[in-house]
Amino acid sequence: MKIKALSLLTLLACSGSVWADEQYSYTILVDNGVKAGEQIVEVNDDGEISVRYIFKDNGRGPELDEKISLNKEGFIKDYQAKGNTTFGSVINERFKVTGNNASWSTGKEQSQATYQQNALYLPVDGSPYLSSIAIAAMAKSGKNSLPLLPSGTLTQDVVSELIVDNGGEKQQVQLLVQTGVGFEPNFVWATQGENPRLFAYLIPGYITLIEEGWQHNAKAMLDIQQKAETLLLEKLAQMPKKLKGLTVVRHARIFDSATLKLSSPSDIYLLRGKITSIVPTGTLQSPVEHEIDAANRIVLPGLFDMHGHLSRWEGPLHLAAGVTTLRDMGNDNATLQLMMDEIDTDQLLAPTIVPTGFLEGESAYSARNGFVIKDLAEAKNAIDWYAAHGYPQLKIYNSFPKDILKDTVTYAHSRGLRVSGHVPAFLKAEDAIAAGFDEIQHINQLMLNFLVKPDTDTRTLDRFYLPAKQVAALDLNGKAVQDFIRLLKTNNVTVDPTLATFDFLKKTDGTVGEPWRAIVKHLPPDIQRSYARAELDIPDQASAELYAKSYAKMVEFVGMMYKAGIPVVAGTDELAGFTLQGELELLVKAGLTAAEALQVATLNGARYSKVEQHKGQIKVGFDADLLLVDGDPTKNIADIRKLALVITQGKVMVPADLYRKLGVEPFVKDQVKIRDFATEAGQGGGKTRQGHRHLH
């Protein structure tokens, strides 16, 4: 789970302090109340601020020290940050205002701008406490917005208030919503008064960052925050148009995900979210409520992202990229159940979810998603819960006890669940296969099979650095690798390589990873900057070349597995929506044709999500998950980004509209013609539905 480990820094880069000799301590808890970090803020007599921030979860996390000076209006005039990012790259960021000039550097990024009015600098790798500067500066100015550097505007509004207590001490805190940074609103809790500051930051089902001693107030705060978020999410969920009554998509060239062929122009009839008829264009005479003119565009089945960890705000990014089904590979159980209910009742705009049960063992490295168990009895109880809630698959994680692995897999199979996961620490992929795994996640977990020793702890960052350093020397045609490929094939093991997310193994500072180069300029400015940062510690050019060679071999290895008949699925574990597009390009780079890559993201997705009876193909009786695409992605996979229209869950949505709402520059400008005959008749259009039909 890569994106969540980064999100605390990415979403909160904004902040402040008070002018006194004071110290504030924050504790950071992950789900289930386990402490995973802290933030210590010291403000000396002259207003200089020092921040020590550390957060470690799942064997990784950022660690940094900040020195901050503010001007009299409360804006940053000098900022220094040193430390390491989640995956170990060096943080060395600097910002300084001198007269009317502002300059900043972040690794290889060296920039400057005229500084004629106060603007809030937005660090790439800042601590959560930086939110305080924005809160205090807005309070001092009396305004609810601030200009940002390098660009943009931060807007803030008060959502709610709450009286919290700490052993008899009480204070009133307020819930704020900040917009203008990233793709989504950012909710923060702040103190009140003349010098307000950050009080708490809550990510439902994941993180609680709160001033030390006030932790027991988090549940009440979270309830208020989730209700506020729900109101905004419900408005977003109303953007798509409900397709009530019979709908026809005319002049469609249908991609057959089984044969990899395109049809002649056809009409696809839809009703209540299902495909009811597919005929040659113009041959079925039936009145309809809605008519969508595909105009000879290629129509694909909806795409599957087979490795996501859904948050409540990511759904529109997935849908705008054509991801109509998401296999969630591990989430807070209560949060995921809530989201699935909200999707089902049109309160949340998101793909259809195929849930995977997350099962982890207890250790200092444990990821706290799902169930964390100590023995076989607890593992069986967790599996029973997942089976009762309709989960088709189980995901086993890094710290799972190896002595009960085989019995756990056997029990999951007896309950009808597929089993996949990471390879537990001190084992190899071949051991997981022997235990009965049906699927293995991530290319690094496969490569480690040839690299680990009995005492190698793959819960540490070694699970990334070992493949980066050593795969380059691996002989892919040698006996060990070829025997392993045969082992995968013999045991019918599926592979979820998530190649795109592992591009970070070779990404050097100042460059954008290959999967996002085509789209990064369309993203909000702060996201663009974050995607130009290195994530691993790559100390010199020789290391950069070595890591790039290792990654190229990983891509090649995926192609070898595919050609050997090993089932491959398309998963991401990174930036919602866009990463799947990059993953498909990498599959083509590995040796698949564009049409084969589309098959992996459609038919294979349905098959290995256990929903192939109603998804993954455009067939009568199947779910009407349809994508209208400009260009020809069956020949040029990059055209998958030219998505003009998405139909799913009985709704139609325009990706360009969703992207604009999220601060993303659209990729397609030509509009698809959609006729709503009931509305036109009500507006006195003078034509009946049947009459309009005869015009085509």
Task: Give the count of domains, the chain.
Answer: 2
pLDDT score of 686: 36
Residues 340 and 210 in one domain: no
Say yes or no: 382 and 497 in one domain.
yes
Check residue 15 and give its pLDDT.
38
Same domain, residue pair 315 and 204: no
CATH number for the domain spanning 469: value is 3.20.20.140
* In-domain check, residue 282: no
Are 655 and 666 in contact by the 8 Å Cβ rule? The answer is yes
Tens digit of each residue's pLDDT (9 = 90 or more) over 530-569: 999 999 999 999 999 999 999 999 999 999 999 999 999 9
What pLDDT is attached to residue 689? 38
Backbone angles phi, psi at 223, to 5 degrees: -60, -45
Domain boundary among 237, 261, 281: 237
The answer to whether residues 334 and 447 belong to one domain is: yes
Out of 196, 219, 237, pick the residue that ends a domain. Answer: 237
Distances (CA, A) of 413 to 380, 407, 419, 499: 11, 10, 7, 28
Domain identity same for 229 and 315? no
What pLDDT digit, counting tens, does each position of 174-202 carry?
A: 999 999 999 999 999 999 988 899 999 99
pLDDT band at 10 (very low <50, low <70, confident <90, very high): very low
Domain of 41 in residue numbering reads as: 3-237
Nearest by Cα to 448 from 435, 461, 434: 461
Residue 669 domain-assigned?
Answer: no
Say if 314 falls within a structural domain: yes
Asked whether residue 688 is domain-assigned, the answer is no
- 419 lies in the same domain as 558: yes
Residue type at 258?
A: A
- Whether 642 contacts 630, CB under 8 Å: yes
Query: Is there a single domain that holds both residue 423 and residue 564?
Result: yes
Contact criterion met (CB below 8 Å) for 252 and 265: yes
Task: Write the CA distances from 593 to 104, 255, 571, 612, 690, integer angstroms.
Answer: 44, 14, 18, 22, 43
229 & 307 share domain: no
679 lies in a domain? no
| Same domain for 433 and 316 | yes
pLDDT of residue 695: 24
Q: Is residue 196 domain-shared with residue 311, that is, in the same domain? A: no
Asked whether residue 585 falls in the same domain as residue 439, the answer is yes
Q: Are both 8 and 148 inside the same structural domain?
A: yes
Q: Report the pLDDT averaged over residues 571-582.
A: 97
Predicted confidence band at 20 (pLDDT cuts at 50, 70, 90)? Answer: very low
The reply to whether 656 falls in a domain is no
Q: Could you tell me which residues are beta bridge partners of residue 271?
A: 274
Q: Is residue 519 part of a domain?
A: no
Final residue in a domain of this structure, among 613, 628, 648: 613
Whether 407 maps to a domain, the answer reads yes
Average pLDDT of every residue of the chain: 93
